[in-house]
Structures are given as C-alpha cells and as structure tokens.
A and B are shown apart, each in its own frame.
Chain A
Amino acid sequence: MMAKPSPMLQLLETERFILRPLGRVEAYRIGRGNWNHDPEIMRNLVHSSKPLDPWRWLRKMVWVNGRTRFSHAIVPKEGGAPIGIHGMTLQKYRSASLVVAVHDRKWWGEKVVAEIRKALIDHAFENQVVDRFCCTVQARNTASVFNYKKLGFKHVGTLHRAQYDSVSGELFDTVIFELLRDDWEKRRSANG
C-alpha cells in the first residue's frame, strides 16, 4: 500500500501569497538562480558572500525529498515569478525547523517572512505533522528575533560564538527559539 502524501506537499494560501510545493529541480533552479550571486543573501544563508558551485549547492541547499524536507515557492497572488522559497525540515521526535528566504528585494520590509512562517506553522500543527518547531537565529538579527517572538516562540537557549561570518571575520552568538503545540493551541484559542 502506498503511503499517504504528507500534508506539507499541499498548495497553501496566505493573505497575499500562494505557496506552491516545489520539486528538487525547481527548488534548485529558483534558489541557485536567485540567491547564489547575491552576496547579501548568501551571507545570511551560509555566512559567506561567495557563490557555491552546483554540487556544493545541491548538497548544502537543496532540501526537497517529499518525506522529511519540503519546500514551497512564495508566489504573489497578484501574479509574477516566485519572490522567495521556504524550506522545512522534519527532525526526530516530531520536531521541525524552518527557513524562509525572500530574494525579491521589492518585498523586503513587507512582513513576508512573518506571514509565510505563520501559515506553515499553522498548517503543520493543524495537520498533526509536528508537535514542536525549533529555530536558531543570529542573536543580533533582531528583526528575525522579533518575528519568532511575535509568533509565540520562546527563547530556550543561547550558543555563544557558535557561527562564523567569513565576510567580517567575526564569530557571533545564536539564540534558539522553540514553539510547542500546547503553546500554539493556547495562543490560538486566546486570539479566537
């Protein structure tokens, strides 16, 4: 008997965007095509401004396998090309992590990441995909820290001097945020 496809392979919709499930080839094409030669995006994603060669990109950046790694293209409802991609990785014990990258700079500062993260988290909890989200973010990336707090994530730990930025040569601290199903349900019922 064939296994039931994961709910994370469904087409999703937010207020402003369609989240279209991606296969490996398309995720590679959109990601590498738009991010690899943008030093600012690469610095945020892999802490280096240098482009990755195709094999390294495949190994490091391509998520999708349809079982534990999922990706959706973020497509504006008003039409046009995808403005970014998200990646979700399922981990042991019904946990997951999320990455959202918006390559279209017109959409920077438009609260896209918060809208996409909320939709994915709601969908994953509603469909019993996971019981916990756990994400790590650079401590001084305060806009991202804000987004996690706004979604109800709790700070559960700090990793000091845990990552290296090859552009500035600096070591930096990262903070770990967690959202458990119970807390998500409490917030949801409190917000009606």
Chain B
Amino acid sequence: MADAADLRARRVIANALKCPLDAVSPDAGVDTLPQWDSIGHVNIILEVEADLGRKLSPEEIAGIGSVADVALLYERHIASTSYVQAGEN
C-alpha cells in the first residue's frame, strides 16, 4: 500500500509541477525540488484535492512539504476507502 501511495503522490506532484516523474524522487520536498515553488505548491494542493475528490483540511494543507507528506495522505485515503469497501461487502 505504501508503494502505491508513494507512486500516486509522485505522479500527482510531477503533474502539478509539469516535470517528469523521474525528477520527483520519493525523498523530494520543498527544499530539494527546484520546481516546487509557491505557484507549484498551489498547483499540488489543487491536484491532490481533485484526485481525492475533496477539499483538504487546514491541517492537511499545512502538513504538505514533501513527497512523503503527500504519500501519507494517499495511504490514509487508500486505508479509509478499503475499509469502506470491506464494510460494504
């Protein structure tokens, strides 16, 4: 699950920053990725919200500063949707 979340986070960030997936390493963040500037950050938040289909909470917005932070959001999302699906079955 962690790998899937990690890859999804890297894809969304690469898409938001308009850079190749290879440029977004799993340990990249605001300090290491040159394309990740304030405009890029706004785009990342919007892309993640569109991908998750919901607005991020203030805590989630304030918590995003690296690929790992976005991956953690996806891990929680995957865990919560799996739980819902398991409950429905």
Residue of B nearest to A176 (CB): B62
**Does A155 lie within 8 Å of B39, measured CB to CB?**
no
**Does A139 lie within 8 Å of B61, measured CB to CB?**
yes
- Chain A, interface size: which category? 10 to 19
B: number of interface residues (CB 8 Å): 15
**Does A143 lie within 8 Å of B58, measured CB to CB?**
no
Nearest-neighbour CB distance to chain A for B19, whole angstroms, equals 17
Selected from B30, B58, B62, B64, the residue in CB contact (under 8 A) with A150 is B30
Nearest-neighbour CB distance to chain B for A146, whole angstroms, equals 4
The residues of B that contact A111 with a CB separation of less than 8 Å are 37-38
Which A residues between 128 and 180 are near B, CB-CB below 8 angstroms? 139-140, 142-143, 145-147, 149-150, 155, 158, 160, 173-175, 177
Interface centre among A111, A140, A145, A147 (most CB of B within 10 A): A145
Interface string of A81-113 (1 = CB under 8 A from B): 000000000000000000000000000010100
Selected from A109, A143, A173, A175, the residue in CB contact (under 8 A) with B41 is A143
Which B residues between 47 and 87 are near A, CB-CB below 8 angstroms? 58-59, 61-65
**Does A158 lie within 8 Å of B30, measured CB to CB?**
no
- Is B31 an interface residue, CB under 8 A from the partner? yes
The residues of A that contact B65 with a CB separation of less than 8 Å are 149
Q: How far is the CA of A111 from the CA of B37 in the complex (A)?
A: 9
The residues of A that contact B58 with a CB separation of less than 8 Å are 139-140, 158, 160, 173-175
**Does B62 lie within 8 Å of A145, measured CB to CB?**
yes
Selected from A142, A160, A177, the residue in CB contact (under 8 A) with B45 is A142
Interface centre among B37, B45, B58, B65 (most CB of A within 10 A): B58
**Does B62 lie within 8 Å of A146, measured CB to CB?**
no
Q: In the complex where A149-B30, A150-B31 touch, is A139 in contact with B39 (Cβ < 8 A)?
A: no
Q: Lowest 8 CB-CB distances: which A-B pairs, in order? A: A139-B58, A146-B41, A155-B62, A143-B38, A173-B58, A175-B62, A149-B65, A146-B38
Chain B contacts to A: CB under 8 angstroms: 30-31, 37-39, 41-42, 45, 58-59, 61-65
Chain A contacts to B: CB under 8 angstroms: 109, 111, 114, 139-140, 142-143, 145-147, 149-150, 155, 158, 160, 173-175, 177
Extra contacts besides A142-B45, A145-B61, A150-B31 (13): CB < 8 Å: A142-B41, A142-B42, A142-B61, A143-B39, A143-B41, A145-B41, A147-B38, A149-B30, A149-B64, A155-B62, A158-B62, A175-B61, A175-B62
